[in-house]
Amino acid sequence: MTHAGRQRLKLLAFFAIFALPVAVAWGMVEWRIGIPESRTAHGELQPSLPVLSQWPLTAVEKDGESDWLLAFDCPEACDANADRWWRLHRALGRDAARVSRLRIGGGGEPLPGAALAQWTTEVDWRTPHRLWILDPEGRPVLGYAPEVDTADVLDDLRRLLRMNPEPPMARYDHASSVVGGDGDDE
């Protein structure tokens, strides 16, 4: 093979390196090969529900302004479910500080770290023992039936937290407000 032939072969190989991924991607899209047909979330998307501020609840408290919220409906004593969601919250590890828990209804005191609210009126979209994940702005993202596997909720919540990272200075802003107080130290 001559020098010019080797150079042409190198040029064709160079073009193939860049053209082959484009051709494969086009084929995947055109013939639907290798593209997953199912969704990745285990819960049900909840775009039709109103934001949390429009829910007919008594006062709702979150630990942090930018926290995600695990809200679970507890029409009667539900110690087992409350404990289940408390354990899920602890399983988040270092991301647990980015999530608050809200128990809606039920009797007795909430578990440590959970807020308590009550329904003020009945709504048609409410399902007893349901769990919702709400974003920091109070929009319902995912809803879960009572029989959902805790590992599935943990998987979805970890994915949401990973896909929506905490703002870089959020930890420092929270730490300075806790340490510095309200400025009335003098």
- The pLDDT tens digits for 94-131 are 899 899 999 988 777 788 888 888 889 888 888 888 99
pTM of the model: 0.69
The CA angle 74-120-97, to the nearest 5 degrees, is 50
Looking at residue 186, what is its pLDDT? Answer: 40
Tell how strand 99-104 and strand 44-45 pair up.
Answer: unpaired
Structural domains in the chain plus CATH codes = 44-165 (3.40.30.10)
Q: Which residues of the chain have pLDDT under 70?
A: 36-39, 77, 168-186
Half-sphere exposure of 13 (CA within 13 A, CB side): 6
